């Protein structure tokens, strides 16, 4: 196992949200997150008080906690303008907001201490259509995907408590050559080259990512992203939405 570098960042906000009816008929979402004060418990199923609207594709042990770098917000504001939703953390449905840590600096399998909890990087985010409606930008999910500014998920091998202001400290880095940026590019650049894909099967990929890689290797084709990125009926998406 590779020696972990001395990597520490301050968590500026720890956020949760409740699931409510969303923008399209029959949909629900907990994407609107709000900062929590004081100590909050973090377990294998996520941050206490946090909810997801569709447990088929959100939440669960491999998507227990979502981290989104706050420095990405400035880039989005430069591209999209000063949208109200980008004024404060929580726009992307993240539970953890920090500066000084991004997809190029985080590797699959990294373990971090956060308060008395331990968080393990499980996968990058595959953005969905709810971002389109959240931002009032019809192709927002596609923009997030193509930019690589996706954020990432943690599983929680050790439950504990943490709060905003605590340090996220790297404990272990078993796969130093496999940043999330590198994995994102394999996934979202539609790579089919077996020499690039086959090494990922040695990584601790979540089941859905492993199936994706195996299908590409077997079928020599890229999966269809339309339902995830565009949603069930993009014509029903509103043009703007308050945070």
Question: Could you report the per-residue pLDDT of 79-135, keeping only the tens digit for each?
Answer: 999 999 999 999 999 999 999 999 999 999 999 999 999 999 999 999 999 999 999
| Percent of the chain whose predicted confidence (pLDDT) is above 90 | 81
Find where tokens 């377990």 sit.
Answer: 43
Residue 46 has pLDDT above 50, yes or no: yes
To the nearest whole number, what is the mean pLDDT of the chain? 91
pLDDT tens for 175-208 read 999 999 999 999 999 899 999 999 999 999 999 9
In degrees rounded to 5, what are phi and psi of residue 152?
-155, 170
Lowest mean per-residue pLDDT among 7-11, 58-62, 104-108, 114-118 = 58-62
Beta strand 8-16 pairing with 34-35: antiparallel
Q: How many CA atoms lie within 13 A of 185 on its CB side?
A: 8
In degrees rounded to 5, what are phi and psi of residue 236?
-90, 0
What is the per-residue DSSP string for 178-238? -BHHHHHHHHHTT---HHHHGGGGGS---HHHHHHHHHHHHH-SPPP-HHHHH-S-GGG--
**pLDDT for the residue 231:** 81
**pLDDT for the residue 55:** 62
Structure tokens at 80: 């999209």
Find where tokens 């949760």 sit.
Answer: 16
Residue 45 has pLDDT above 90, yes or no: yes
**pLDDT for the residue 2:** 57
Selection from 165, 167, 223 nearest residue 191 by Cα: 223
Selection from 229, 174, 221, 173 nearest residue 197 by Cα: 221
The pTM of the full predicted model, rounded to 2 decimals, is 0.92
Mean pLDDT across 142-157:
96
Cα 116 to Cα 101, 127, 154, distances in angstroms: 20, 29, 15
**pLDDT for the residue 4:** 82
Confidence of residue 241 (pLDDT cuts 50, 70, 90): very low
Confidence of residue 225 (pLDDT cuts 50, 70, 90): confident
Confidence of residue 238 (pLDDT cuts 50, 70, 90): very low
**pLDDT for the residue 54:** 66
Mean pLDDT across 51-67:
81
CB 27 within 8 A of CB 200: no
Beta strand 96-98 pairing with 65-69: parallel
Pick the residue with more confidence: 192 or 231? 192
Find where tokens 């991004």 sit.
Answer: 102
């Amino acid at each position: 196992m590779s020696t972990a570098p001395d990597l520490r960042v301050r968590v500026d906000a720890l956020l949760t949200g409740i699931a409510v009816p969303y923008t399209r008929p029959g949909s629900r979402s907990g994407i609107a997150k709000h900062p929590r004060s004081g100590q909050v418990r973090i377990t294998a199923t996520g941050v206490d008080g946090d909810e997801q609207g569709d447990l088929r594709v959100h939440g669960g042990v491999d998507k227990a906690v979502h981290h989104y770098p706050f420095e990405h917000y400035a880039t989005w504001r430069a591209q999209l303008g000063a949208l109200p939703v980008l004024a404060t953390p929580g726009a992307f449905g993240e539970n953890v907001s920090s500066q000084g840590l991004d997809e190029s600096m985080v590797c699959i399998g990294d373990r971090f201490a956060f308060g008395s909890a331990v968080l393990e990087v499980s996968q990058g985010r595959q953005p969905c259509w709810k971002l389109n409606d959240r931002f009032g930008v019809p192709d927002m999910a596609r923009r997030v995907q193509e930019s690589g500014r996706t954020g990432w998920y943690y599983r929680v091998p050790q439950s504990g408590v943490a709060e905003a202001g605590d340090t996220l400290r790297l404990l272990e880095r078993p796969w130093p050559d496999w940043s999330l940026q590198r994995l994102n590019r394999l996934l979202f650049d539609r790579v089919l080259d077996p020499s690039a894909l086959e090494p990922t099967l040695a990584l601790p990929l979540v089941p859905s990512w492993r199936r994706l890689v195996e299908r590409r290797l077997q079928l020599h084709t890229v999966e269809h992203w339309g339902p995830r990125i565009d949603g069930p009926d993009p014509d029903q998406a509103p043009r703007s939405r308050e945070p």
